[in-house]
A and B are shown apart, each in its own frame.
Chain A
Amino acid sequence: MMTSTSVSSRSDGISVLLRGLVYGAATVTFGTLLFIVVYILWKGVRHLTPSLFSLTYNSENVSLFPALVNTISMTVLSLAVAVPLGIFSAIWLVEYASRNNRLVGVVRLTAETLAGIPSIVYGLFGFLLFVTTLGFGFSLLAGALTLAIMILPVIMRTTEEALRAVPDSYREGSFGLGAGKLRTVFRIILPSAVPGILAGVILSVGRIVGETAALIYTAGTVAQIPDTVFASGRTLAVHLYALWGEGFNADQAYATAVVLLIMVTGINALSAAIAARLHP
């Protein structure tokens, strides 16, 4: 009886079982991740040949280079639309809207709704609006506009959080020195919110790079670098999907997956570095 405390703290059956379950689950989770990453690297790295990075794609070299370039242009285009919109929306929400403005609730609700819509629905919507109704055809522009709407809530939310984290004394100090509202927003508040905003932008880049379903019927699946934004071009993720449909070049597909993994890891590392600076 005297030993009951030490028994219950260490080795009663249920505690041991629960501990085993927790460690088992963690092993399964991280083991799976490790397996996926190592397996893809192992199968793919040796197929990263120079011909895979030829300037143009043909069925012989299955080059991923055009898709890589398209991924970058798609990212730049989408961000060019979504970042100003998202930042301005957040500025309105935090700095301009009064506390009891009904519109604030509606904007929040719609942004949350946008965040929950699956990418295939965006793809279908982009197809109906940009590709057919507005007549852009399958094009980088149609794809970028679709993605811009998709990442808008991410930029809005992170910017809003960043702006709210700026202490009120900054605003009061700026007003006290005689600066106007607009000057205060652009010269004082935004600069101090930059790291937080950047974190949202990087999160969005990750989504753009990995996106497939929203792009197949908006940006299309042409495997070349288009001359204008009004022409079709597939991004890297779409490229991987298209390789599956086109009779399948497994080796090149593994290599493409490796490039995607490297990009995603780089993006994550960047966002972790910024997060570390934000919350040291």
Chain B
Amino acid sequence: MHGVFLASAVTSIFAVLLICVFLFAGGIPAMLKIGVVDFLTGTRWKPGSDMYGILPMILGSIYVTAGAVVVGVPTGVLTAVYMARFCPPKAYRLLKPAVELLAGIPSVVYGFFGLMVIVPALRTAFGGSGTSLLAASLVLGIMILPTVIGVGEAALRAVPESYYEGSLALGASKERSIFFVVLPAARSGILAGIVLGIGRAIGETMAVIMVAGNQPVIPSSLFKGLRTLTANIVLEMGYAADLHREALISTAVVLFVFILCINLAFSLLKRRVIR
């Protein structure tokens, strides 16, 4: 049985290797054929006329993620402070499961909600089609809330109570003690939560597809549509062939590299928290 246990444990190594092999073997040749520079910095994605530049999608993913951070991080961190320090125990018993529900709602339901509520609201308020960078940022901002809240709350609770009490004893108010003593002490953990949220936002697919408009163009304003790396794969994989298909796999390679960098940042931060 020892062998069976060992073999199972090795499966995850095997899986990561397989994923890397399939992605890189499928994507790198196309990248070389198109030209790495042309592929990464080209601004035109027109598979019909063999133009494969994914800069609009790279920027699309970055913009949308930045938007999600702007929307989700301040709200999330402040809510984490509420959960860890302000929430009365009775309300906590109700609100903690609420945060978990927020995390459990499928992304396609968020996308659907965005499509039916946020997009029409933006259309009425600002004109245009409503499917836009702003809509995607709002939806993703809501989606990263539970991650930021959960990790942030745990980090705040890990700060020794003596910090808070010491600050109170020096005459600082409850709010000042929390924001100027406890919060800075928990910053690595909170940052880890934010990085995890960024990973979630950049990898998110379904919700973004339904509200972002998906034009492969660099958006010129908050109210213009855009396409992310993830959306590019889902939208065209169904009918793509040959170089077009390989170019989509290359898109996944770029996304994968982004994610690996974010994961690395996360585990470095986590290590700092444990020390």
Contact = CB atoms under 8 A, between A and B. Distances in A.
Interface of A: 5, 8-10, 12, 14-16, 18-19, 21-26, 28-30, 32-33, 36-37, 39-40, 43, 84-86, 88-89, 91-93, 95-97, 103, 106-107, 110-114, 116-125, 127-129, 133, 149, 152-153, 156, 182, 206, 209-213, 216-217, 237-238, 240-241, 244, 250, 253-254, 257, 260-261, 264-265, 267-269, 271-272
Contacts of B9: 88-89, 92-93, 97, 103, 107
Given A125-B18, A153-B12, A217-B237, A19 B108 contact: no
Contacts of B260: 113, 116
B164 interface: no
A121 B23 contact: yes
Given A19-B175, A116-B262, A257-B113, 8 more contacts: A29-B145, A43-B116, A88-B8, A88-B9, A125-B18, A216-B234, A237-B206, A268-B101
B246 to A, nearest CB: 11
B31 to A, nearest CB: 15
A123 B210 CA distance: 18
A117 B101 contact: no
Contact-residue bracket for chain B: 35 or more
B142 to A, nearest CB: 6
A212 to B, nearest CB: 5
Given A96-B5, A118-B259, A124-B23, A149 B15 contact: yes
Nearest to A203: B104
30 contacts: A18-B175, A18-B178, A19-B86, A26-B79, A26-B95, A28-B75, A40-B113, A92-B5, A95-B5, A103-B9, A110-B13, A110-B16, A117-B203, A117-B259, A118-B203, A118-B205, A206-B104, A210-B108, A213-B205, A213-B234, A217-B234, A217-B238, A238-B108, A240-B106, A244-B112, A257-B112, A257-B113, A268-B101, A268-B104, A269-B97
B117 interface: yes
Majority SS of interface residues in chain A?
Answer: helix
B233 interface: yes
Contacts of A212: 106-108, 205-206
Interface hub of A18, A84, A91, A153 (most chain B Cβ within 10 A)? A18
